[in-house]
């Protein structure tokens, strides 16, 4: 069974640009969660999508948005990029929602660098 696939693996952007990251969950998984990891803040929850609906959202500005398609693939978009958005962005999938007590399966992440 294929794991969680994130594309691209690496990305370099400049301030003010926007970026879209993609996450393909494990087949059959309906929940996709997104996380940001930085050296200073560690791992932080961005949002969770389940059956094309955003179920939960962390404390990030509106520049961070996402969506989920009918095949459960998810995209995350960050607009008006800032230097502080440089981070490893991870997605994780699970069969049910985050509070359905099911383990999450993580992708390898997209490393975003803002110049």
The residues that touch other proteins, with contacts defined as CB under 8 A, are 33, 35, 37, 42-45, 48, 56-58, 88, 90, 92, 98-99, 101-106, 108-109, 111
Shortest Å distance, C-beta 16 to other proteins = 26
Quick one: 42 or 62, whose CB is closer to other proteins? Answer: 42
92: helix, strand or coil = strand
Which strands, in side-by-side order, build the sheet including 5-7? 5-7, 19-24, 74-78, 64-68
What is the CB neighbour count within 10 angstroms for residue 81? 19
Shortest Å distance, C-beta 1 to other proteins = 15
Shortest Å distance, C-beta 23 to other proteins = 14
Quick one: 82 or 108, whose CB is closer to other proteins? Answer: 108
- DSSP states of 47-71 as a string? EEEETTEEEEE-S--TTEEEEE-TT
């Amino acid at each position: 069974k294929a794991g969680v696939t994130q594309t691209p693996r690496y990305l370099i952007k400049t301030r003010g640009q926007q970026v879209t990251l993609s996450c393909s969950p494990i087949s059959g998984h309906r929940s996709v969660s997104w996380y940001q990891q930085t050296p200073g803040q560690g791992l932080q929850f961005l949002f969770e999508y389940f059956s094309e609906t955003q179920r939960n959202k962390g404390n990030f500005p509106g520049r961070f948005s996402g969506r989920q398609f009918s095949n459960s693939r998810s995209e995350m978009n960050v607009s008006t990029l800032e230097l502080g958005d440089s981070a490893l962005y991870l997605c994780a999938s699970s069969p049910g929602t985050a509070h359905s007590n099911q383990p999450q399966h993580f992708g390898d992440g997209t490393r975003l660098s803002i110049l």
